[in-house]
Amino acid sequence: MVSSEVDFRHLWDLYEQRRVADDEEILLTHVPVDNKGFGRLIRMLLPCLDIMVYPKGHLEEAYDPEFRPLSRPVWNTARARWKPFQRLESTQVESQRIGPCH
């Protein structure tokens, strides 16, 4: 369930504006919010999804013990990324700025 407006907008940008190509896969990572001092309702409203677009097969390569990329930093750079606390206005800018990771 997506309860944060920021997370929803990031996913909307991904699926409705950027689109996902057939040769890409989406990786979602849950980034827990520091819950000290926050009530449960407030925590639910905070963004918590780190959304990354990689070439198809990226996750399998990450868990393949025999896989050795030529350049790990280049291999590990997402084609597009939306971070939980990224400002809403800059979402599309960052997703367009990051190029292919081949």
How confident is the model at residue 11, as a pLDDT?
85
How confident is the model at residue 96, as a pLDDT?
43
Share of the chain above pLDDT 90, in %: 30
- Distance between CA atoms of residues 12 and 16, nearest Å: 5
Show the 3-state SS of 29-62: EECCCCCCCCCHHHHHHCCCEEEEEEECCHHHHH
How confident is the model at residue 70, as a pLDDT?
93
| Nearest of 91, 98, 97 to residue 15 by alpha carbon | 91
Ranges of residues in the chain whose predicted pLDDT is under 50:
90-102
- Distance between CA atoms of residues 23 and 100, nearest Å: 12
Compute the residue count for the chain.
Answer: 102
